Structure formats: structure tokens, C-alpha cells
Structure 1
Amino acid sequence: MSAAGSAPAVFVTGASSGLGAALAVAYARRHPAVRLGLLGRRESALAEVAEAVAQASGGRASAIALAADVTDSRALADAAARFMAEAGAPDVVVANAGISAGTLTGEPADAEVFRRIVQTNLIALPDTFAPFIAPMRARGSGALVGIASVAGIRGLPGASAYSASKAAAISYMESLRVELRGSGLRAITIAPGYIRTPMTAGNRYPMPFLTDADVFARKAVRAIEAGRGFVVIPWQMRIVAGLLRGLPNAVFDRLFARAPRKARVGAAD
């Protein structure tokens, strides 16, 4: 976090809705003079989030809206440079952008969906962090936060792309955490369970421990400031994920073979 008494600078991807928007507002409430970089694909939605940030902070926070797609590494680098020109090196970078859809191997229509999910949920992580590493190292402090998912703990049928991307994100963040050891920078992995967002709105199956986005965001901000290396929100889902991880394959396969599956893009309801 920034020096004592100064407002933090926080850069958030996927900030136009869902968890990203909730995180931006949570930071504005906790640190009213926060300097926020809000990156997302939709300018109009970013403007709405910026207004919510202003209301949450009593007009004290500054929010820089940065319209870009995280799968475009050049656009990401340009957005990072613009943010740092106005706000300086960030104290926190949250690689939050993520998408989800059902996918089935062997379905031709799902091949491009699979690639897009992996590009957004995984490849965009290092691309998001890369422009900030050198200036944050030079300062000797800061947090790089990757938003993973409990879906990355065990492969879920019908969600192969999403589960694979989040499992890889967890491993990537672990590698980064060790790489940064001793640099003053921290790599923090946050694995949400079911959070009430547009991404989960279309799920046609029970979602245990469903948590409101603002509740998730408050807990996530506290976890980041505490420097926790890996955290599952809500905590109950960490128990569930641990139990699933410990199941023998034969038991897991039998339990989940007929589990409800996330809708595929373009699939009939």
C-alpha cells in the first residue's frame, strides 16, 4: 500500500461490471481519496462505475476510465502508461477481467470460445501485470492480484475452458509469488466462489453460499491489504473446494457425471 497518509493508486481490469466494478467502489469507500484506473471494454459502463466511485467517496476519488480489451496486449500497455502518467506507479493491480461459458471438446462452435476464455482469464494476467513490474519494483512495494476461482480447484464437466483457465491462473500466480519474493512486491490470488454478478446470473443450477458482489469486494480489499497469498471468498467455499480436491477420481467422476452444466454460447435453452 502507499506511504502512510497518502491515497493508494489502484488499477482494475474488468471494471465495467461485476466484481471489477464492486472492487472499485469498495476501494472508494475504504480510501475516499483513492486514485483508480478502471479498464474495461465498454466506455459507457465505465462512466457509470466512475460515477458510483464518486458517490462512494464523496467526490474525493479520482477515476480514470480506460477502454480496452485485455486480450490486446498493446492496448493494455498503452492503458497502463496512461494511468501511470496521471497517477504514478500503482500500489495495487487487480487482474480481474474474466469470462465464462460452457464448452465441450469436439464441438466445432466451442473451439473459438475456448480460446477466448483462456486468452481473457489466463494470458491477460501477465499482460496486465507486465507494464507495472519495473516501476513497482523500483519503488519496492505493491500488490499484484489475480482473480481466480474455486472452479480452478477441480475440473468441472461442461466448463472445461473456464476450469482450465482458472486452474492455470492459480498456478501462474503461485509462480509469480515465488518469483517476487524479496522484491517488496506481493502476488495475491483471490478465488471467488459463487458471487452474484452478470456472469452467474444465467447459471441454471444451485449456487451454494452465493455472495453479493459488494460483500465479496469488501472482503477482497481487506485480504489484499493484509497481504494474504491465497484466499477463497466466501470462506465456506474453501472447505467445499478442499473436500472436492480430496475426493478420489472415481468418486468425483461418479458425483459430477450428471451435474448441471453452464450454458454453451449459442446453445438452445
Structure 2
Amino acid sequence: MNSPSKVFITGASSGIGLALAEQYARQGATLGLVARRLDALAELARRFPQVSISTYSADVRDTQALAHAAAQFIGEHGLPDIVIANAGISKGVATGYGDLETFREVMDVNCFGMAATFEPFVRAMTEARRGTLVGIASVAGVRGLPGSGAYSASKAAALTYLESLRVEMRPFGVAVVTIAPGYIRTPMTAHNPYRMPFLMDAERFAQKAAAAIARKTRFAVLPWPMGIVAVLLRCLPRWLYDRLFEKAPRKPRAVGEAR
């Protein structure tokens, strides 16, 4: 497997994003890392002094800040081989209880932020006829989970957006990879008040995800048993799904951390 030379990752300060940054750093890639917390990114850079790591402070909802970070990276290192839109948040919401701002925040970060991450790179990639765009979606986007309406909706939107983008980019030689995590051991899942089947360590996830990205896999569910769960959930008739999940444990309202 050829190691990528340049990788750009959002939400790289913790959880899945941090694990992916560490994975690519071990492969010797030149990294562009985006997060709101520069201190966490600086600590990562200190741990890999032999790797070229450029860090940028930006919220993925801020299109100008993202475009500036992308331009800086391209100016210093050239067009990245891989762009990973990973930044995401998960917060419990309840319709009718004043959670609309929380709902908007989750949708903006998880879906709009993904499109905003790709936007500064797409034209150059299509002109060069190379590159890989990677979106971190979720199995939670397969069916609507009670109490997680914003998160499920945002990830369902991400899944559909990535599929549209994959077909759109195909004639230009640009690959689009969708990674749909199940339960991954990160700060985001640390306080979930329910059982998490097939829970996977973030480091192991990053290894598997990087391998799928290198193969330009169109769609990958990690860990793989959650792929079977996702198919079964999708196949459940609505009446049975409603009956099984109406009393399922729910994420507490307005609690979540950046991935």
C-alpha cells in the first residue's frame, strides 16, 4: 500500500480526527490539521517532530476560515492527496423543548461543515484529475434514533451528500469515500447512557479507515459487524422499528463533544 504524501483533516484535535492524524503521521504524511483548539494540535505536532504538520484554528461552519486554511496548506505543501471532513458533534435534542439552536448547530457542523471542508479543494482536484475526498458519516444516519434527531438527520444528510458527490466527481478522476463509524471509543461516546455493541478503539478504527481510504473504497462501515446491523435496521418495517425503539435509551439533551 502506497503511503499518501499530503493529508488535510478537520476536527483533528480529539477522537476519530486525532486518531486519523496520528495514523497518517506514523505513515510519514505531510499533514494539515484543522480544529478549534490549536493547543491540542500543537501537542500532536510535538509528538511527531519528524513529520511536517501545519495546524489551523477554524470552525468548520466558518467558510472563510476554512478557505484560508486550505489556501495556506496548498501554498506551502501543494494540493493534498486526501481531504478528510471529520469534524462533528453529537448532542441530544427534544422537539418542542427549545432545542432548535442545538439542532441547527449539529446540522451545520456535521453536514454543512463537510461541504465547506471540500469546497476549497474540489476545483483544483478536478483540474488535476486526482485526489480523494473522505466524509466521516455514521451508522446513526441509517434510521432516525429517538432523542438524536439532529445527529441522525445530519448524518443521513451527509450520507446522501457524499453519494451525490461521489457520482459527480467520478468523471474527473476524484474519488469520494464514505466512512460510516459505528460505536468508536472517543470523548463523544464516553457518556452515552446505553450499551454500545461492537465498540471499537479509535486507533484501530483509524487503521481500518486509512486502509479503506487507500483502496478508494466507496463506502465502508467500521467496525464491519455494524454494517450488518445497519442493513438489518434499514430492512425493518416501520411498525416494527417504531415498536422496538420507542423506549430505547437516549442521549441526554444538549450534551456532546467535538469529534
> By the TM > 0.5 criterion, same fold?
yes
- Runs of 4+ displaced beyond 6 Å: none
Q: What are the residue-to-residue correspondences of 1:113-152 with 2, within 5 Å? A: 113-152=102-141
Partner of residue 94, structure 2: 104
Distance 1:7 1:147 in 2: 18
Deviations 1:27-78 (A, max 9, x none): 122x22x1100100001111122233x0xxxx43111010110011111101
Does residue 1:72 correspond to 2:69, yes or no? no
What SS is found at the alignment partner of 1:69? coil
Distance 2:12 2:51 in 1: 15
Q: Which runs of 5+ in 2 are unaligned?
A: none
1:247 to 226, 236, 245: 236
Partner of residue 28, structure 1: 25
Give TM-score, length-normalised by structure 1.
0.92
The answer to whether the Cα contact below 8 Å between 2:4 and 2:82 also exists between their aligned partners in 1 is: no
What SS is found at the alignment partner of 1:261? coil
What is the aligned residue count? Answer: 256
Q: Return the letter of the residue paired with 1:239.
A: I
Does residue 1:213 correspond to 2:208, yes or no? no
Partner of residue 72, structure 2: 82
Deviations 1:220-245 (A, max 9, x none): 00000001000000000000111011
Distance 1:253 1:124 in 2: 31
Q: Return the letter of the residue paired with 2:15.
A: G
Deviations 1:188-227 (A, max 9, x none): 1000000000000010100000000000000000000001
Aligned identity (percent) is 57
Q: Which runs of 5+ in 1 are unaligned?
A: none
What CA RMSD, in Å, does the superposition of the two structures yield over aligned residues? 1.5
Give TM-score, length-normalised by structure 2.
0.96
**Higher relative contact order (Cα pairs below 8 Å, separated by 6+ residues):** 2
Deviations 1:129-176 (A, max 9, x none): 010012212221110000000000010000000000000000000000
Distance 2:9 2:159 in 1: 18
What SS is found at the alignment partner of 1:231? strand
